[in-house]
Amino acid sequence: MKNVLVYCRQGFEKDCAAELSEVASSKGFYGYAKVVPDAGYVVYNFDQPDAGETLIQQLNFNRLIFARQIIAVNDVIELEQGGRVESLLEAARELPLAEEIWIETADTNEAKSLSGLIKKLEKPLREGWKKSGVLRNKAVGVRHHVFMLDGEAAYLGVSYAACRSEFPMGIRRLRFPAAGPSRSTLKLEEAFLQFVPEQTLESDLTEGMTAVDLGAAPGGWTYQFVKKGIHVIAIDNGPMQKELMSTGLVQHEKADGFKYEPPYTVDWLVCDMVERPIKVAELMAHWLASGWTRRAIFNLKLPMKKRYQEVSLCLQTIEAMLRKAGVGYQYQIKHLYHDREEVTVCIMVR
């Protein structure tokens, strides 16, 4: 399959394309992006007949920032009313065998209008795939994706377990907790699920640890630590939720998050302050380089244009500061579903 289709948040198509262009060229693949503003996806076109499929098999999905999902595709398939399943099935016979098929759309209001059509197509599509032998249990890790553009056109693609999201449309949906102080709590909950490996979950988020939350009020991020039994030093001049304070796990200090220094090394630093991204990046790197924390999760609030370039600048700044301090670390950065005009970064000192 010659091209790549990437799902992203609506409005971030140019940033997704800029990132994919850089990643593809670093692997020796050159092409061009087809960007439709506010479409919620990007198609990257290559000249080589198998470039899309070959490229995604070389990528680490967790290293992509703006991609919610990534699949290899060919050209758009035109769908005729009454013959949609047949058109898709004919194209599917040219794909590698798969163990499952997903039917998806972009995450836009326009695409949501296709939900009724998708429900009608799901059963006949799956039955057609099975009867034709396109679906096989032995095709472990291979998934087919029908990406509906409208009632008359769709992309048909392939993803591989080593480089993809395991959530429909690439969206990890979370339920807002009744006791949550603010909806921002979902950002940190998703960040923990995204960044903290399951095998180290108990050692990285253990009852009795201490965290610092810069810009904590009213306590959305603090809440995620408290429910795990982790003590939090909440730094903010604003008020904290009363229920959080009554747990006895929160120490509220009214101070400037950019000037506060911890009295001892803490296990976690988190920050969701609204400030220029480079200023936040420098602050986080200073904490890590100073040995004030071993783990940090923070948001970078991005400008309206050239977001990918801004993220790259922030990462270069952090890398330079930690390298100068001789600090070894691992990092991930992702535009999470519960993020908006921001990306979330996780850095762990190892």
| 115 is known to lie in a ligand binding site | no
| 33 is known to lie in a ligand binding site | no
For 303, list phi and psi in degrees, rounded to 5: -70, 175
> Edge to edge, what strands does the sheet with 210-214 contain?
250-253, 231-235, 210-214, 268-271, 295-301, 342-349, 329-334
For residue 76, count other CB atoms closer than 10 A to its CB.
14
Contact 31, 42 (CB under 8 A): no
Which residues are CB-neighbours of 105 under 8 A, at least 6 positions away?
111, 112, 114, 118, 147, 148, 149, 169
| 47 is known to lie in a ligand binding site | no
| 218 is known to lie in a ligand binding site | yes
- Residue 225 corresponds to which amino acid? F
| 219 is known to lie in a ligand binding site | yes
Active site residue 301: yes
Longest dimension (CA), the chain: 69
| 111 is known to lie in a ligand binding site | no
| 203 is known to lie in a ligand binding site | no
Tokens of 195: 């960044």
Q: Which residue among the candidates 34, 228, 301, 306 is catalytic per the annotation?
A: 301
Cis peptide before 49 (omega within 30 of 0): no
Contact 213, 232 (CB under 8 A): yes
b (16+ CB within 10 A) / e for 253-286: eeeebbebeeeeebbbbbbbbeeebeebbebbbb
Output the CA angle 154-157-158, nearest 5 degrees: 160
d(CA 327, CA 290) in angstroms, rounded, equals 9
Q: List active site positions.
A: 301
Annotated binding-site residues for S-adenosyl-L-methionine read 184, 217-220, 236, 256, 272
Annotated binding-site residues read 184, 217-220, 236, 256, 272
